[in-house]
Chains A and B, each alone.
Chain A
């Protein structure tokens, strides 16, 4: 298109009317192409029905002390674990300086006040996205008694904080609230 031999228009250093027309045409085409491309790209974003699946509820009564369950929220595993008093104590006694990731590092920042026995986490290892083991007491829970990721050996404590790499961050906390003492709503 830029080849001058095709159009036989004399090109000098001065800006010609044809340069202007070419620029206007090209910009029009680019804006048009962008306007056409956007609906196509946006169609790959989450659709309305996916966005509508924003919350799930879970009943806590069947979870005995020391047990955990996994529920699904937005396609992700959510760990709901009923901690024993010993595990709570262990989690609360940790100081920030011992942690790899001190963000939300205190145990009280990771549970709801008065519900210290319930730790609720997004069960996705912050290394490369595997689901760590440890909800069942028979699972390997690692040296810190929380969760152990089978993929690359990351270990989390009973508050879901990373204590042994390669994972760089603590397990993420989902938004949730207690609807009653025995029922939570995630999302």
Chain B
């Protein structure tokens, strides 16, 4: 492997660096001329949006950590200090706080994109698995971040979530004591949560790097779900998708800014304006909106251990989705039965979310049970069976020559096929 790179950059400084460490050649290859299917729709923005979101969370988080005190006596008031005394502290904190929700919005849409267009199928299974790992680390990070303000919801959320582990037989209580560093959620818990909340985003950066690296090996999927067959099917990443991503980023940042400036607390819980009180649980204890579906699954099962297993199982099942789905067709555009059923599954998740926000009584118990059953039914029964039973629509010959029909090929970049594509 030893030997200097032959760099093609004209700028002598860039050339000098690139010869010794070919990062510019790499960037040019992976983000400049990288051949990308030319039929992306806006669903393909969400990976880039999630990346931007992660970077903003890390930057705002670093500045918040300069003013935050991870101590049960000081944590709550240090947040007020950030909001009132620190220059622009309110802005940095609201960007970070709402950024958590934004992160889940874009990630959930990104995951839906993967499910709808079959992005998890051969050869992108590992890419998908890395994505599920990212989701789980992200959830752990968000949970621990929510504990840091040390309000009532922080405290009782921490208590309830860590107590999940007590469901496991024999070792359960030992695990909980280990997580807490004591016999209740207290200062040692807050300290370690702060430490891990600072660490995990950088772990995320690492896994995201692997996720992107794997993506650049297999290449991107596309709305038709068929493989790239010739250079005519692709466009260079720059400027086509750098510009398309930039448009998405502008809209995304505008939505985020609207939350920060006009509705900074609409996604939060008013109980978290009350300092943590270990002696009194709030009357309505709910997690943040992005955890509500899992919370509903947990509560829909009357058995403690089974409920916990179902909740974790709802995430674990995602790991094996590439093997549960037996259909060789990726995009649901060509799967007339699966296509409506994925929306039923989305509806089940939304119903679970709504159930999670209500007290578990009456209709909400029944609804959440039905939706929980459907959640698992979709993955464990419908996916394997439908792949064998369903008769898919004819696939287009290539991205450039889609079959005719109402939604045959989707919108194509105007005039793109006329361009000479010798670089790609």
Chain A interface residues (CB < 8 Å from chain B): 1-3, 5-8, 39-40, 42-45, 47-50
Are B236 and A40 touching (Cβ within 8 A)?
no
Given A1-B238, A6-B28, A43-B63: A48 in contact with B84 (beta carbons within 8 A) = yes
Give the residues in chain A near B262, CB-CB below 8 Å: none
Given A6-B28, A40-B92, A43-B92: A48 in contact with B236 (beta carbons within 8 A) = no
Min Cβ gap A87→B in Å is 43
Given A3-B28, A6-B32: A42 in contact with B67 (beta carbons within 8 A) = no
Residue interface mask B49-86, A partner, CB < 8 A = 1: 00000000001100100110000000000000100111
Give the residues in chain B near A47, CB-CB below 8 Å: 67, 81, 85-87, 89
Min Cβ gap A48→B in Å is 4
Give the residues in chain A near B91, CB-CB below 8 Å: 39
Let me know if B9 is at the binding interface, CB within 8 A.
yes
Cα–Cα, bound, A48→B67 (Å): 13
Are A40 and B88 touching (Cβ within 8 A)?
yes
Are B87 and A45 touching (Cβ within 8 A)?
yes
Give the size of the chain B interface in residues (CB under 8 angstroms): 25
Are B33 and A43 touching (Cβ within 8 A)?
no
Chain B interface residues (CB < 8 Å from chain A): 9, 11, 28, 32-33, 59-60, 63, 66-67, 81, 84-89, 91-92, 236, 238-239, 419-420, 423
Are A39 and B239 touching (Cβ within 8 A)?
no
Min Cβ gap A89→B in Å is 48
Other than the known A8-B419, A49-B81, what 7 A-B pairs have Cβ atoms closer than 8 Å? A6-B239, A39-B88, A40-B59, A43-B87, A44-B63, A47-B81, A47-B85
Give the residues in chain A near B92, CB-CB below 8 Å: 39-40, 43
Are B88 and A49 touching (Cβ within 8 A)?
no
Are B33 and A6 touching (Cβ within 8 A)?
yes
Are B239 and A44 touching (Cβ within 8 A)?
no
Are B85 and A6 touching (Cβ within 8 A)?
no
Are A42 and B88 touching (Cβ within 8 A)?
yes
Are B238 and A43 touching (Cβ within 8 A)?
no
Min Cβ gap A21→B in Å is 10
Are B87 and A39 touching (Cβ within 8 A)?
yes
- Of chain B, the residue at the smallest CB distance from A52 is B85
Min Cβ gap A1→B in Å is 7
Give the residues in chain A near B66, CB-CB below 8 Å: 43-44
Give the residues in chain A near B28, CB-CB below 8 Å: 3, 6
